[in-house]
Amino acid sequence: MKLREIQELLDAVVLAGENHLNDEVLCGFGSDLMSDVLCYANDDAILLTGLTNRQVLNTAEMANMRCVIFVRNKKPSDELIRMAVEMDMLIMSTRLILFECCGILYQHGLAGANKR
């Protein structure tokens, strides 16, 4: 699935990394627990989370996730947006809750990024 389709399905606002909207992803991981993202998530997934601290972007980077979507209308700070630009990462924000995001994306064919 193209990231642009994900953005449209979730009615998400792009905050940085718009140049990656045509990139393809196969799976997604939804969590507010970064420890679990590092343990259980597959390569090349998108990350959906309600956390907006800088360790979210570091976690995504280490797990080879090129896109982070902030749910529940969470907005990261300007500093975090600058960090995403520096990391060449696509970040978006949606007013939908995590459950709704995962349901919509799963229904449209995006698999769970379950490493185990």
Partner 1 sequence: MTYELKFDVERGDFETAGLASRKIKKTLQQLGINNKTIRQVSIAGYEGEMNLAIHSDGGYISLMVLDGELVLVIEDTGPGIPDIALAMQEGYSTAGDEVREMGFGAGMGLPNMRNNSDAFEINSEPGVGTRIEMHFNTKT
Please, which residue, 5 or 23, has the CB nearer to partner 1? 23
33 binds partner 1 (CB under 8 A): yes
Of 5-13, 16-24, 34-42, 68-76, the window that binds partner 1 (rule: CB under 8 A) is: 34-42
How crowded is the C-beta side of 16, counted as CA atoms within 13 Å?
21
114 binds partner 1 (CB under 8 A): no
- Which spans in the chain are helix H? 3-9, 34-40, 54-62, 78-86, 98-107
Shortest spacing between CB 54 and partner 1, in angstroms: 7
Apex CA 98: angle with CA 112 and CA 110, to 5°? 30
Q: Could you give the string, one character per residue 77-96, with x where binding to partner 1 holds by CB under 8 A and - elsewhere?
A: ----------x---------
Strand partners, 24: 2
What is the spatial distance between Cα 67 and Cα 5, in angstroms, rounded to a whole number? 13
Return residues touching partner 1 (CB under 8 A).
Answer: 31-39, 43, 49, 51, 53-56, 58-59, 61-64, 87
